[in-house]
Amino acid sequence: MRGTTVPPGTPCPPPRAGELPMHRLEVPAPHAPPFAVGTFDEIGPLSRAEFPHRHTFHELVHVTGGTGTHVVDLARWPLRPPHLGVIAPGQVHQWAEVRGLTGHVVVFTDDFLLDHPGDRELLRRLSERPWLELDARADAAVTRLITDLADEYRRGGDRAESVLRALVHVLIVRAGRLLGTPPPAPARAVAAEFTRLAARPDLGLWSVAAHAGRLGVTPGHLTEAVKAATGRTAAQLLREARVREAQRFLLRTDLTVRQVASRVGFADPAYFCRFFRRETGLSPGDFRRGGEIHHD
């Protein structure tokens, strides 16, 4: 996907005022697979960044040691290793007051999932509950898979990319089992792609009709598919995406309410405030003062 990868050492472009840094995946050559795996030290200091940021890629984190907190969107997850974390493109995350962090990081773009497109929907659903505590058996299974990934990645050579894709698919499916999330049925393909696109900050402000046009279906067909797959309407999911983006701006930036309203597509700040209160039960100011969600 264009713009999701960069050559090694490419600096992150400075974010616009009020926006968060967007990290892209470094690949060693133009035609190298959009994938990397390694320890936190091998991936680099940005893999444990203590400032809020976003990615253009998926990130799976296997934490085997350390103390502190992992913050994903508006939720704080205390470290009680072992964990498996799932961060989707566009999600905001950071590490807070972390000490002794050990484990592995697996990163890849949507393009790496070409052999298993259904994994995109499974990853999206996993990212809604992005921090899994592993028992001894699950931790051993994840450790074996990531060890195989790291060995294959270092070895390289013929067919290495196809092996890496297969191992990543197995890791995603098994993570879904840990959460009790079944793989998506083929009939849900339209709904799955819509929910993936709606979660992206750059597309969450589109209308249902605009998304339907992008997907090549009618708005009515899209609404029916999304309702059948999720129990919610396409319009509801778009409102939720807009609320999440507003919440991120309110908590992670110093933008005024008027500026936040503009960033999430509202020309009238008063209308934005009414919309936000209707969806969350709080005014934007009250939400900003309330802080994040904590998980004990």
Q: Which CATH code for domain 5-179?
A: 2.60.120.280
When comparing pLDDT for 172 and 74, which is higher? Answer: 172
How far is the CA of 45 from the CAs of 42, 81, 94, 99, in angstroms? Answer: 9, 20, 12, 14
| Spatial distance between the Cα atoms of 271 and 289, rounded to a whole number of angstroms | 20
At residue 150, the 3 state secondary structure works out as helix
Give pLDDT, residue 275: 93
Q: Which two tokens stand for residue 51?
A: 């400032």
Give pLDDT, residue 188: 65
Digit-coded pLDDT (tens) for 69-83? 999 987 899 999 999
Digit-coded pLDDT (tens) for 206-263? 788 888 877 777 788 788 888 877 777 888 888 888 888 898 889 888 899 999 999 8
The pTM of the whole model exceeds 0.85: no
Mean pLDDT (whole number) for 36-54: 93
Give pLDDT, residue 204: 62
When comparing pLDDT for 228 and 133, which is higher? Answer: 133
Mean pLDDT (whole number) for 189-201: 78
Give pLDDT, residue 1: 42
Choose which CATH entry (1.10.10.10, 1.20.58.220, 1.10.10.60, 3.30.1360.20) describes domain 186-294: 1.10.10.60
When comparing pLDDT for 59 and 196, which is higher? Answer: 59
Residue 23: name the closest of 37, 38, 43, 42 by CA: 43
State the chain's maximal CA–CA distance in angstroms.
Answer: 59
As a whole number, the mean pLDDT across the chain is 85
- Ranges of each domain in the chain: 5-179, 186-294
